[in-house]
């Protein structure tokens, strides 16, 4: 059996360490050690820890951007509510899995500033899903499935904000999880949004 490629081992190690230790406290040296490679080998694949973070988000967490791109390219396909339900489901999973990774950034102002600067340079950031969902809703608006006067940016912010808040708010409860299942939540949020914009 061939060993897994170094890039895959690095991503797996980074994902695990970022989940357990947090992004702020994870070093490239620790990631390289856990991946069974040198730090120099890590830097052959990733220019900086921020680039590695973005790769973990894109390759190890539920994908939202790809779904939004596909839906935006083909408005009018499937039901609007079913499409928004799938968006809400993936977004809730993404935020649930990324929250522990990114939360540690907020403890160190300078690190967060450097991280934000790096994300901007990479053309990424937490605003991208909102922009992507707003673009999808505008595409649906153009084919008549979203009311002409509906604010697509506000609608995108509401749906994704609810998904993000679900990951954060219920983590602090005694049960440590939301009262609704993921599928119930996604369907309810999508249905509520459709009632307001369609």
Burial of 89 (0-12, 13-18, 19+ CB in 10 A): buried
| Confidence (pLDDT) at 50 | 79
Cα–chain center distance at 100: 12
Residue 127 Ramachandran class (φ > 0 left, ψ -120 to 50 alpha, else beta): alpha
What predicted TM-score, i.e. pTM, was given to this entire model?
0.81
Return d(Cα 88, Cα 93) in angstroms, integer.
8
pLDDT of res. 75: 94
Q: Per-residue DSSP letters for 57-94?
A: HHHHS--SHHHHHHHHHSTTSS-HHHHHHHHHHHHHHH
Block means of pLDDT (10 residues each) for the chain, 198 residues, are: 86 91 87 95 90 83 86 94 97 87 76 79 83 97 96 98 90 84 97 94
For residue 93, how many other CB atoms are within 10 A of its CB?
A: 18
CB atoms within 10 A of CB 2: 4
The structure tokens listed for 30 are: 């620790």
Tell me which H or E stretch contains 21: none
pLDDT at 51: 84
Distance of alpha carbon 70 from alpha carbon 12, whole angstroms: 27
Number of H helices, E strands in the chain: 10, 0
pLDDT score at 133? 97
How confident is the model at residue 104, as a pLDDT? Answer: 74
Give the per-residue pLDDT at 117.
83
> Which secondary-structure segment (H or E) carries 179?
none
């Amino acid at each position: 059996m061939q060993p897994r490629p170094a890039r895959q081992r690095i991503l797996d190690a980074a994902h695990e360490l970022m989940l357990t230790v947090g992004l702020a406290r994870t070093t490239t040296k620790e990631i390289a050690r856990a991946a069974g490679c040198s730090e120099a080998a890590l830097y052959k694949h990733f220019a900086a820890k921020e680039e590695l973070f973005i790769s973990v988000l894109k390759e190890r967490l539920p994908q939202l951007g790809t779904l939004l791109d596909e839906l935006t390219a083909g408005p009018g396909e499937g039901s609007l509510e079913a499409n928004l339900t799938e968006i809400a489901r993936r977004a809730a999973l993404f935020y649930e899995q990324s929250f522990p990774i990114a939360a540690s950034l907020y403890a160190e102002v300078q690190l967060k500033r450097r991280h934000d600067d790096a994300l901007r340079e990479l053309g990424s950031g937490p605003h991208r899903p909102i922009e992507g969902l707003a673009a999808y809703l505008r595409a649906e608006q153009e084919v008549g499935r979203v009311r002409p006067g509906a604010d697509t940016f506000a609608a995108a912010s509401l749906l994704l904000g609810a998904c993000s808040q679900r990951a954060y708010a219920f983590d602090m409860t005694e049960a440590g999880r939301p009262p609704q299942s993921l599928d119930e939540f996604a369907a309810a949020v999508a249905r509520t949004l459709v009632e307001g914009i369609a």
